[in-house]
Every structure is written in C-alpha cells, then in structure tokens.
Amino acid sequence: MPELSVQGLNADSRALGAGEAFFALPGSSVHGDRFAADAAARGAAIMVSDRAPDSDPGLPVIVVDDVRAAYARAAARAHALQPSVAVAVTGTNGKTSVAAFTRQIWEATGRPAASLGTLGVETAQGLVPGALTTPDSLTLHRDLQGLASRGIQHVALEASSHGLDQRRLDGMSFEAVAFTNLSRDHLDYHPDMASYRNAKLRLFTDLLRPGGTAVVNLDDAEAGAFCAAAEARGARIAGIGREGSFFSFETVENEGYGQRISGRLAGRPVSFHLPLTGAFQVHNALTALALAMATGVAAEDGLAALPELKGAKGRLELVGQHNGAAVFVDYSHKPVALETALLALRPYASGQLHLVFGAGGDRDRGKRPMMGEVAVRLADRVIVTDDNPRTEDAASIRAEILAAAPGAREIGDRREAIGAAVATLQPGDVLLVAGKGHEDYQIIGTTKHHFSDHEVVAEAIRS
C-alpha cells in the first residue's frame, strides 16, 4: 500500500471529515463496516476494521485484531498534548465521588486539575456535562488535549466496566489506579459477575503504568483479585481498610451530618473531620487521598484538604428540611448503593426513614427485585415510583420491584411520589429520594424531559 497521510479519525461515519481514518467498530447493535460506503463517500482516507469487508468498500482497509484498542491508541496519538498525570478509579460504587475528591485535593494543594466521568468534565472553572461515564476514546483525547492546553496537568478518570471492556481507555497509561468495591450492576451487558469483574480488572492488568500505585479497598470481598493483578504489574499497593497498609481504621463516629475518623496513615496516628454523610464516603475520601499522594501530594497537605471536601452532586446530599425532617437525594440505582445509603441515614432518623425510588428501564432487570427487598428491609415507608423508564413499560418496571417489596406504595409519577412523601414527614423523620442523583432529566421512551429531584423536593417543601 502506498504511504497515506491521514488527517484525523472517527468511529462514526456520520461525523467523518475528508482525509480521516474511519474505524469500523464491532458495535452491540451493528458492525461499523456496514457504513464503509458512507465513509468513502465522505472522503475517508482509509478504514480500519477487525474483519475484511465482504465487498469492495471503495477505500483502502487495514485489518487489525482489536479495532477498539487500535482506535483508542490512534485517538491518543492524534492528540499529543496530554496532562502529565492521570489516575483512574473503577468499582461498582464510588467512582464519581473518588474522582471528584481527587480533583479537589489536587486543587487544594496548588495543582490545577480535572475529573472526568458520569457528571462530565469538571474543573475549578465549572462542569461541562458529558454523555458517558467513560467517554468514547476520541471525545476523551480531545477533552484531555483541551485540558492540557489550559495548563491542567492532573486528571482523575472514572473507568466504567463498559469503558474498559470496549477499550475506550486503551490509549492511556495511569500513574495510579483505584478499586472501590464490586457488587451487582450491568448484567444486561456482561454475561455474569465474573466477566463484569474481569472488565474492571483490565484497569489494573493493562492500563496501570508498570511500577505505578494501586489503591485497593481491602474490606471488599474482591480485593484479592485486584491486589494480585497489581502485584503482577509490579505496582505498589496502597491498601485501605481494617488492616490497610496505607490507611487502617480505628474509629468512625458521626459528627452532625459529617463524621470524625481516627486511624493510622502509613502507621502514623491521625484524626480528621469529613463534612460528608455516610461511612462509605470515608472510604471514597481515603481512596482519593491515596491517589493524590501517589502523584506527589504530601500527606500533611492532603489530610488538610479532607475537612473541606464537597460531595459530588446528588451523592447522599442533604437537599432540604421540612417540618423537622431532613431530605436527601442520592444516586443509588443499584442494590448495594441503596443499602449503603439507607444504612447511612438510619442513625439520623429518630422518627421514620422514608424512601422514594424506582429503577431504570433498558438496564439490568435483575437489580429490580433486589432493590425492592433492600427497600422494605431498611426503610419504614417506601414509595416505588419511576426512574428513567426509557423504552420499557414503566408500570412493569414498578411491578418487578413491588413483587419483592410487600407493603410499599406505588405512585408512578415521580413528582407526585416525592410530593406525597414530603407531605407525610414528621419531626425526626428522614426522606431519601434515590436513583437519579445529579440527573436533570427523566427519559421516557426516547425523549428526555427536564426533571430534577433537587428542584422537585424544593417545590414540594415550598408547597
């Protein structure tokens, strides 16, 4: 083949520019090579695929083994300017929080930083919302180049199991990585828990810089697999837990809606206040501290930043008070997250603990009865409502939850459900509105309607 000069790349034929390389990805609904003719018509210089096309596509083709990985690496190479320090966090719960806290610790210690994930791209200048938790490789490297050109040298990424499985991060090498925990999610995409876990393990086995740092929550049942992967990579392991080498816990006590933590940091006794609700946030904050320290933050400086941390939007966030009761919004849309949030709030409910929640459509159905069971076991008054039904029948989603939640009320309309819960609050009660966290929309069918739990709670309290 003669030498070809390529101007750029894309995996979506509809967005290709003339002279660019078209990467034909094996999608979940269609193989990208079906759009070869479209790519050729738009002037693509070449197609890269993992299989030879059936007929002449009208442009030169390179066949590679793993076209998603090739796409990710090409996207990285095409955007040479990159932040010098990148870390990433994986796990079923806590990624957004850990990424946000890592960014805040870097900022507090004089390092302009960004976090990239479910919320979007966040810097000291604000938040630019995004579409995916782990962005598509091209979007990712464009964003990273943009950040580097603004002088941001420190970035913390969320590595989702979809993102890892689809090689979206394969163009990166991380100075430090972290594992928070593993529990059920996304079994609509991964065939079983083992493949879900193995997708997450790729962050440790393939993307951590050899000799880098691996932060591991030792209290999780899957910690062993992540430690073994880190060791095989020649990584330094920073363990957090009852017996952690980085941080070992002694006591965690509630202080108002925050908490005081005492323990040993690398063997040295320390005690600090964390202005966040829920013991799980202590793990998240320490994971962030370990990531920050693995990238040059001094222990003293990092510790000094913890009492100033702000929770990510909609992560067990106190959003209002009504009639002597407290109202929280939380992004728990998985069984363990819901359980964690309810257990965290129970000590604050001298009266009853109320819950309003639902489950997303076109997502793992097995989560629904599990969440129903958790709800009636741990809350006193439960209303099952709609989350994002997407293209499923909303009433059927509720029915799948309700089958495992005897005694729960059913109010499909989320605004009405929140209103009904707020209206019954008594002094000493706590209400948790779960599932949508920061989201400012509700997806019904394929339409996104504006909807914010924050706004609807405020409305309900006002009226």
Ligand X SMILES: N[C@H](CCC[C@H](N)C(=O)O)C(=O)O
Cβ-based nearer residue to ligand X, 20 or 387: 387
DSSP helix/strand/coil, 334: coil
Question: Residue from 97, 123, 133, 137 that binds ligand X (CB under 6 A)?
Answer: 133
SS3 content of the chain, % helix, strand, coil (to 5): 35, 25, 40
Residue 384 touches ligand UAG, criterion: CB under 6 A: no
- Residue numbering of the annotated binding site: 13, 91-97, 133-134, 160, 166, 168, 363, 387-390, 435, 439
Which one of 22-30, 221-229, 322-330, 416-424 is the stretch in contact with ligand UAG (CB under 6 A)? 22-30
How many chain residues interact with ligand UAG (CB under 6 A)? 19
The reply to whether 10 sits near ligand X by the rule CB under 6 A is no
Q: Take residue 47 and report the two structure tokens written for it.
A: 């197609």
How many C-beta atoms surround the C-beta of residue 315 within 10 A? 27
* 93, interface contact from ligand ATP, Mg ion, ligand X, none, CB < 5-8 Å by kind: ligand ATP
449 class by beta-carbon count within 10 Å (0-12 exposed, 13-18 middle, 19+ buried): exposed
Among 9, 388, 400, 457, binds ligand X (CB under 6 A): 388
Binding residues for Mg ion, rule CB under 5 A, total 4
Q: Where are the alpha helices (H) located in 55-181, listed in sequence order?
A: 67-78, 95-108, 137-149, 161-165
Residue 115, contacted partner among ligand X, ligand UAG, ligand ATP, none, CB below 5-8 A by kind: none
What length does the chain have?
A: 463
Any contact of residue 360 with ligand X (CB under 6 A)? yes
In this structure, what token pair is assigned to residue 131? 């579409």
CA angle in degrees (0–180, nearest 5) for 41-45-49: 95
Q: Which does 387 bind (CB under 5 to 8 A by kind): ligand X, ligand ATP, ligand UAG, none?
A: ligand X
Binding mask 78-117 for ligand UAG (x = CB under 6 A): ----------------------------------------
Token output for 264: 């040993």
How far apart CA 309 and CA 105 sit, in angstroms, is: 8
Residue 10 main-chain phi, psi, to 5 deg: -165, 150
151-180: contacts with ligand UAG (CB under 6 A): 160, 162-163
Q: How many CA atoms lie within 13 A of 150 on its CB side?
A: 15
Partner whose binding site includes residue 442, from ligand X, ligand UAG, ligand ATP, none (CB under 5 to 8 Å by kind):
none
Of 76 and 178, nearer to ligand ATP (C-beta) is 178
Residue 315: name the closest of 135, 153, 158, 444 by CA.
Answer: 158
CA pair distance 306, 225, nearest whole angstrom: 29
What is the rounded CA–CA span in Å between residue 69 and residue 304?
Answer: 40
- In eight-state DSSP terms, residue 305 is H
- Residue 119's identity, in one-letter code, is L
Applying CB under 6 A, does 332 fall inside the site for ligand X?
no
Structure tokens at 227: 């430690």
Binding part of the chain for ligand X, among 151-159, 317-325, 342-350, 432-440 by CB under 6 A, reads: 432-440
Instruction: Pick the piece of the chain touching ligand X (CB under 6 A) from 28-36, 192-200, 207-215, 431-439.
Output: 431-439
Nearest distance from C-beta of residue 344 to ligand ATP, angstroms: 8
Is 11 strand, coil or helix?
coil
Write out the residues near ligand X by the rule CB under 6 A.
133, 333, 360, 363, 387-388, 435-436, 439
Write out the residues near Mg ion by the rule CB under 5 A.
95-96, 118, 133
Write out the residues near ligand UAG by the rule CB under 6 A.
11-14, 25, 27-30, 32, 35, 118, 132-134, 136, 160, 162-163
